[in-house]
Structure 1
Amino acid sequence: MFSFLKRKKQKNDRKIQELNNQNQTNKTLPNLIEKSLSKNLEVIKQKTGNSSDIVIRQLKICHNSKMKIAILYVKGMVDNQSVNDFVIESIINNQNLSEKLKPQDVLEVLTEDVVAVGGIKVVNDWEKLFTALMSGETITLIDGLSKGICASTQGGQRRSVQESTTNVSIRGSKEAFNESIETNTAMVRRIINNTDLWVESINIGKMTKTEVSIMYINGIAKNEIIEEVRKRLKGISIDGILESGYIEQLIEDQTNTTFPTIHHTERPDSVAGNLLEGKIAIFVNGTPFVLLVPALFIDFFQSVEDYYERFDISTAIRFLRTVIFLISLVGPAIYIAATTFHQEMIPTELAIIIAAQRESVPFPAFIEALIMEITFEILREASIRMPKAMGSTISIVGALVIGQAAIQAGIVSPGMVIVVSLTAIASFATPSYAVAITARLVRFIFMVGAATFGFYGIILVFILLIVHLCSLRSFGVPYMSPLAPFIREEAGDTIFRRPIWAYKKRPRLISGQNRVSQGENQKPQPPGTRVMKNTTNMEKGDQNES
């Protein structure tokens, strides 16, 4: 026993000594690049642990020269053809490099004449050099010069532009974002071809140094919201950012709510449409999901193809989505309240059928609904985590077999299976996955209220829900606007959708000074009306001349 404790203590002492040595090593590393190439390479090997994926290629500037240069890059993060053709071969075959040049002259020749790639910059400290190296840039160090050249040669294997899998639409663009932030911002620029589309980038994460960019239209986005986004992003201090969900959770206004206060999408046309309204997009490198702020509650029930269809069709679909959301929210609760407290509200024939079905069920309606809801949540989660070839099979077969077996065993009634199944389908029909998850959670609160006080409990929970939604903010903007506070001129783009020619101004609480979105008299007119107007104008002109 004592020998075991002694060995454990010795092991802990060794770990502490190694950590101290490592910290001491990190402290002794110089901040500025040295002139000696060999010392610089030693620093790089020491800092990176002599990693095998970091390529170090040493060259002479010419055959007769003793001056050496070193080219460094990370395998898999650079475009190998660009490095070989425009960096290494350009240095080897260039005639302007000779043994008579000084290190400073070599730097000027390399940056101005030799290296034939874009994004050339000169750095003189280690932090910027390592950041560029780990970002996929190629570094060139010159012996006798305390500076390094960074060339933009990012590349490697990346996923190509494909169709969206979460924001599917029948009409509209089929392109979706991928994991490259450069590709994502370029896709939006192809839609909004304007110099007022501004992009600001920062690196977040002590270890990952993830590139995060904010995009907005200057003059349309409100300056106060832009400044608030900058402030919140710069205030993040974390080891790493692996997905935009990290940013979403660190910059949201309130954390004590299940409702999303930041919208995310992977469609470029959706981002472009929100930018034109005055919103701000947040791009995170390594994820196809782009954040949009500020977000309103009504935004999560709208689809990008609503604006591609006629306004009457879009209005009917939006109204249907609202009904679907209410069904997914209170469907089981209404069944529990009606069968437990308010049987007189059910038609007599239907009440007799429900009573006959529940005669052999040993549980009350609340427990019955709870069992079915938990079962469906298990099937839903299993179908998501299983491989695609098996996920749909498990969800269909599991639902049929378990539902039929539960009815035959007398655990649940057929009516409850129908209600819970309809509720589950309604949750899938909600356009936003984040709101659908929220409805699945809040549904249990409505079930508890219905099991306690019946319809009075449902109304009480609904009132508390409305009060909670009205108290939320998204970057200072009321979450329920333009419904609460009610803004009449903007209420036409909520549950109902106005025609495109009626959108004359941008949202008042989101956009800046430039609120006019289109010219006057954009309503389509029949050709006969247009001819009559032209004739009237010509007659007025003739009278004025006479």
Structure 2
Amino acid sequence: MNANAVSRSLKENEAYLRQRFHPSSDIVFRAFALQDRTPLLLVYLDGMASVESIEGNVLKPLLFGGLPEGIDRMRTLAETFRREWVPLANVLTDESLESLVKHILQGNMAILADGEASALVAQVQGYEKRSIQEPLKESTLRGSKEGFVENIRTNQSLIRRRILHADLKMESFTIGEYTRTEVMLVYMQGKADEKVLASVREKLKGIELEGVIDSSYIEEWIENNSFSLFSQIQNTERPDIVTASLLQGKVALLTSGTPFALVLPVSFWSGLQSADDYFERFTFVMLTRFIRYVMTFISFALPAIYVALSTFHPEMVPSYLMISIATARENSPFPTVIEVFLMMFVFDGLQEAGVHLPNQLGPVVSIIGALVIGQAAVEAGIISTPIIIVISLTGVAAYTIPRYSATLPFRLLRYMLLFVAGMLGFVGFAYGIIFLLIHLVMLESFGTPYLSPVAPFDGKRIKDLFIRYPFWMKNGRNKKGRQS
């Protein structure tokens, strides 16, 4: 007999549970007798279980309802529950005390009766949770204002409400030795690649962590190349983005305790596309995407290009412009590359300060800090005016990237390209771009080339890359719904 099996002795079961939870004060043990003859014990976690559900659906029927009459004889308490004597949505039977401990910690309630070698598990979770709000990091001008929350059941419903089809599948995994975090694998059967699904299942089962606090723990464990600057998994707070990704055949991961869902596989271009691209008219999206792609290049390449031109290749700059730059730098004590590095470092420091300060102070500190420090540095002759212009334009260009996580690789690339351009000029800059392209071409996201559909070229998928085709053209139909 299993040492952890539920005993017929209620006292033995209570002693085991009290010893297992000792000295936790939020575990509630409530004992009473059913019609003064059958001892019962209720065990639940205060703050995780709904007291209203326990009192209304368990205690009142048990204490005041009495045993049902006029029905076949009930031999066990479990049989009584199955016949809906107590109005609970879901009641399970468990014969392991250790399994019972896990259920209690999840917010369920254990019901044990003297003389029975099994216990009941009633699902009465009722802990506090945040209401559905608009995502702060991915706000849109048009479209849904709903965002994921920390409760995984709520997040599941946000997706289910958008895809009313039986092909939407959700598989549950429990990860973390101590946290026992639930992770949900979400996909559309028949659309998702079976090889990707098999790979994700295998990696989820192979995760060995003591705890999972956020979806980023899962992301770092399952992505193909953890040392790459570029993430091979997209994170998002928006249910509509997850829904659109599922309909495209991608896979999503929901993690309990975090409002961010993971979407895979992704490409380099996924981080440069905004949800508003699909909510606004396609004619305007063409312009905004062109601006965004150009600004993305400026966000990591402009400082290096400026250093290469002004230091190594002044003949490539119009003479009157070069004279203006040289005049502005006349009193500067540092080489151009050092000036640019210092201003980039200060700009990134102010940006981090703005992120971590309270919402009311963050933007104020960032703006005032940049103005005061920039103006003071120019007046003191430490930094030249063209450097301020270059770094300001670089920072503004970075803000055109829709997702914050997508900007992080370009911030690091900015320093790398500045270093090689400061050493070798445009030759070093060219080498840096070539190595970057080689890395991106070799990178994969769960079997999908990271630069697809550009490399390798896919004519069918590329029409949603640089421009956004109308939905009726992208689906291969004319405007009246006939086959084109």
Residue 428 of structure 1 aligns with which residue?
399
For 1:144 and 1:51, the matched residues in 2 are separated by: 27
Q: Which stretches of structure 1, 4 residues or longer, exceed 3 Å deviation after superposition? A: 101-104
Find the aligned partners of 1:442 and 1:496 in 2 and give their Cα distance: 26
Report if aligned partners of 1:315, 1:496 keep a CA contact under 8 Å in 2: yes
User: In structure 2, do the counterparts of structure 1 residues 104 and 503 end up closer, same or farther at CA, with 3 Å as the change threshold?
Assistant: farther
Task: Compute the displacement of 1:111 (Å).
Answer: 3.4
Aligned to 2:243: 272
The equivalent residue for 2:6 is 33
Say whether the 8 Å CA contact 1:300–1:432 is kept in structure 2: yes
1:350 aligned partner, one-letter code: L
- Counterpart in the other structure of 1:523: 479
Q: Distance in 1 between matches of 2:52 and 2:375?
A: 61
Inter-partner Cα distance in structure 2 for 1:226 and 1:490: 22
Superposed, 1:213-232 pairs within 5 Å as 213-232=184-203
Aligned mates of 1:283, 1:133 — CA distance in 2? 23
Rounded Cα–Cα distance in structure 2 between residues aligned with 1:142 and 1:422: 72
Instruction: Select between 240-249 and 345-354 the one with higher mean Cα deviation.
Output: 345-354
Q: Residue deviations 1:253-289, cap 9 Å, x none? A: 0112110100010101100000000001100000000
Following the alignment from structure 2 to structure 1, what is the Cα–Cα distance between the partners of residues 98 and 261? 28
Letter in 1 for 2:195: E
Partner of 2:116: 145
User: 1:103 Cα deviation (Å)?
Assistant: 9.0
* CA shift for structure 1 position 30: 2.8
More displaced, 306-315 or 203-212?
Answer: 306-315
Alpha carbons 2:251, 2:265 under 8 Å: kept: yes
Tell me how far 1:97 sits from its aligned partner: 6.3
**1:31 partner amino acid:** N
Give CA deviations for 1:96-146 in whole Å, capped at 9, x if unaligned.
169xx9995222113322331112111111232122111111111111112
How many percent identity over aligned positions? Answer: 38
CA distance in 2, matches of 1:206, 1:521: 51
Residue 463 of structure 2 aligns to a residue whose secondary structure is: coil
Matched to 1:523, the amino acid is: K
Q: Which residue of 2 aligns with 1:48?
A: 21
Shift of 1:182: 0.2
SS at match of 1:423: helix
Structure 1 residue 203 corresponds to structure 2 residue 174: yes
Mark the runs of 5 or more structure 1 residues left unpaired by the alignment. 1-28, 505-519, 531-546
Alpha-carbon offset, residue 483 of structure 1: 0.8
Worse-superposed segment, 354-363 or 108-117: 108-117
SS in structure 2 at match of 1:323: helix
Other-structure match for 1:62: 35
- Superposed CA RMSD in Å reads 1.8
8 Å contact kept, 2:44–2:109: yes
Determine helix, strand or coil for the equivalent of 2:179.
Answer: coil
Q: Distance in 2 between matches of 1:35 and 1:256?
A: 55
Shift of 1:389: 2.1
Give 5+ residue unaligned stretches, structure 2.
none
Aligned mates of 1:166, 1:241 — CA distance in 2: 22
Counterpart amino acid of residue 192 in structure 1: I
Where does 1:294-309 land on structure 2 (aligned, <5 Å)? 294-309=265-280
Match of 1:88 among 51, 56, 59: 59
Counterpart of 2:287, as a letter, is A
User: Is the Cα–Cα contact under 8 Å of residues 103 and 145 in structure 1 kept in the other structure?
Assistant: no
Q: Distance in 1 between matches of 2:450 and 2:74?
A: 60
- How many residues align? The count is 480
1:121 correspondence with 2:77: no
State how far apart, in whole Å, the 2-side matches of 1:110 and 1:201 are: 26
SS in 2 for 1:214: strand
Aligned residue runs from structure 1 range 102-501, under 5 A = 104-501=75-472
Superposed CA deviations along residues 485-530 of structure 1, whole A, max 9, x for unmatched, are 11111110112222211223xxxxxxxxxxxxxxx643249xxxx9
Q: Which has the higher helix share?
A: 1
CA distance in 2, matches of 1:434, 1:129: 40
Counterpart-to-counterpart distance in 1, 2:103 and 2:431: 57
The answer to whether the Cα contact below 8 Å between 2:74 and 2:80 also exists between their aligned partners in 1 is no
Mapping of residues 504-523 of structure 1, within 5 Å = 504=475, 521-523=477-479
Q: Which amino acid aligns with 2:128?
A: Q
Amino acid at match of 2:270: D
Helix, strand or coil: the match of 1:154? coil
Q: What TM-score, normalized to structure 1?
A: 0.85
Give secondary structure in 2 for the equivalent of 1:47: helix
Equivalent residue of 2:124, what SS?
coil
| 125-134 vs 484-493, greater mean Cα deviation | 125-134
